[in-house]
Amino acid sequence: MLDQFLQHCLNALMLGGTYALLGIGLTLIFGIMRVVNFTHGELYAFGAYMMYALVMRLGIDFFAALVLAMALGIVLGGAIELTLLRPLRSSDIDITMLVMIGAWIVLQNSEQLAWTGVAQSIANPFPAEPLVFGSLSVSWNRVFVLLVAMFLISATYFLVNGTKLGRAMRATFQDRETAALMGVRIERVHTATFALGSGLAAASGALLGPIFVVTPTMGDLAATKAFAIVILGGLGNVVGATVGGFILAFAEEIGVAYISSGYRDAMGFLLIILILLVRPTGLIAQKERIS
């Protein structure tokens, strides 16, 4: 009994890291820019497909490919922001959302056109035998992903809280007009934020691609979970998204273990609804109830 519980906790820990990574990218975009970013899942898939192309088709070293995939995600994110979002800067949230949905459709079907719908797998340099502690086991690959995720999360936190760019982002988030008056280049901040958020999504995809498989529709479920995490943690809150990621992972694992596996994916949503009823600003976040 205890063993099983501990195994569930271990699983949740591994899963939580990846969920957190998904969440912080989106919390920056959805939280700061208020863009209902339906392309987030596609950047995730893009990262995975780039990993596939670099490692399996071009034979590039696994770790170099990871960095490259994230860089490509940043570039794609920046491109999307420049071409689709900047011209619509003054539009309503639903107009930008619609454009993001269109971009989602285009990206996903382009992926299917390029790689077909057949699931692809990416070879990884980790041993196939899992790491074993008594009766608990976990795969090396997942441990690696957790470590990298924590690194990226810390780096993002440092970027947002300790650098000039981060200050500019937070200023734009809190009060756009004043930030502009103070000389913050709003346009650049938007592009940088979107690019960064997209890069993090691509990084998640690149990290998780080798653990799972790569398909054109892989981003859909990831995106839904990302939105759940963002709400749990509060819009724009990096620490919140991290905590939210782990909470979601634990809720899912415990839910499957002790309630029912069918409702596993409902856990996130039920949590959201509950939390929004009780604490509308999310578990950790500060203000912003009526936008």
Partner 1 sequence: MTRWPAIVVLAAFASIPLWMENLYFLHILVVTGIFIIAAMSLNLLLGFTGQLSLGHVAFFGIGAYASALVSLGFEVHLTEDFAVGIGPKPVWLAMALATAVAGLCGFAIGKIAFKVRGAYFVIVSISFAEVVRLVAVNWVELTQGPMALNNIPALKLGVPGLIEISFLRKPAYYYLVLAAAAVSYVIIRRLVNSQAGRAMIALRENEPLAVSVGIDVTRYLVLATVVSAAMAGAAGALYAHYVRIVDPDIFLFIYTVTMVIMVITGGKGTFAGPIVGGVIFGSVPEVLRALAIQPELQWIAFGLLMIGIVFLLPQGIVPAVQGWWQSRGKTPPQGGPPIEAGSGAQQ
Partner 2 sequence: MSTERILSIIAAVGLLLTAGPAPAQDAIKIGVSQPLTGAFAASGNYVAQGAKIAEDDINKAGGVLGRKIQLIVEDNKSNPTEAVATAEKLIQKDKVPVLMGAWSSTLTLAVMPKLVEYEVPMLVETSSSGKITTSGNPWIFRISPTSEMEAKAFAPLVKTLGIKKAELLGTNNDFGLGAMQEFEKMLKAAGVEIGAKETMDPKAVDFSAQLAKIKASGGDTLFVTTDVSQATLILKQAKEQQLKSRIITTGGSVSPDQLIAQAGEAANGSLHLVFFTPWFPDAVKNPDLATKFVKEWNARGHNVGGLTEGFRGYDGITTIVAAIKAAGTVEPKAIQKALWNVKVHGINGDIAFIKQGPAGQESAQNVPSVYLIKIDNGKVVKM
Question: Residue 20 CB, nearest distance to partner 2 (Å)?
Answer: 14
Residue closer to partner 2 (CB basis): 36 or 256? 256
Q: Residue 16 and residue 255: Cα distance in Å, rounded?
A: 14
CB of 215 to partner 1, least distance (A): 14
Residues 164-223 that bind partner 1 (CB under 8 A): 220
Which of partner 1, partner 2, none binds 99 (CB below 5-8 Å, type-dependent)? partner 1
* 113 near partner 1, judged by CB under 8 A: yes
Return the residue of 13, 266, 283, 284 that touches partner 1, per CB under 8 A: 266
Tell me the closest approach of the beta carbon of residue 100 to partner 2, in angstroms: 19
For partner 1, give the closer residue by CB, 49 or 126: 49
Q: How far apart are CA 265 and CA 221, in angstroms?
A: 9
Tell the smallest beta-carbon distance from residue 70 to partner 1 (Å).
25
Q: Which of partner 2, partner 1, none sits in contact with 77, Cβ below 5 to 8 A by type? A: none
- Which three-class secondary structure string do you get for the chain? CHHHHHHHHHHHHHHHHHHHHHHHHHHHHHHHCCCCCCCHHHHHHHHHHHHHHHHHHCCCCHHHHHHHHHHHHHHHHHHHHHHHHHHHCCCCHHHHHHHHHHHHHHHHHHHHHHHCCCCECCCCCCCCCCEEECCEEECHHHHHHHHHHHHHHHHHHHHHHHCHHHHHHHHHHHCHHHHHHCCCCHHHHHHHHHHHHHHHHHHHHHHHCCCCCECCCHHHHHHHHHHHHHHHHCCCCHHHHHHHHHHHHHHHHHHHHHHCCCCCCHHHHHHHHHHHHHCCCCCCCCCCCCC
Of positions 155, 176, 273, 286, contacts partner 1 by CB under 8 A: 273
Q: Which does 277 bind (CB under 5 to 8 A by kind): partner 2, partner 1, none?
A: partner 1
Binding of partner 1 by 97 (CB under 8 A)? yes
How near is the Cβ of 10 to partner 1 at its closest, in Å?
26
Residue 291 binds: one of partner 2, partner 1, none (C-beta under 5 to 8 A by kind): partner 1
In three-state form (DSSP H/G/I as H, E/B as E, the rest C), the secondary structure along 223-283 is HHHHHHHHHHHCCCCHHHHHHHHHHHHHHHHHHHHHHCCCCCCHHHHHHHHHHHHHCCCCC
Q: 167 or 264, CB closer to partner 2?
A: 264
Name which of 88 and 147 has its Cβ closer to partner 2: 147
Specify the residue, 100 or 152, whose C-beta has the smaller distance to partner 1: 100
Nearer to partner 1, 41 or 47 (CB): 41
- Which residues form the interface with partner 1 (CB under 8 A)? 30, 34, 36, 84, 87-88, 91, 93-95, 97-99, 101-106, 108-110, 112-113, 220, 224, 227-228, 230-231, 235, 260, 262-263, 265-266, 268-270, 272-273, 276-277, 280, 289-291
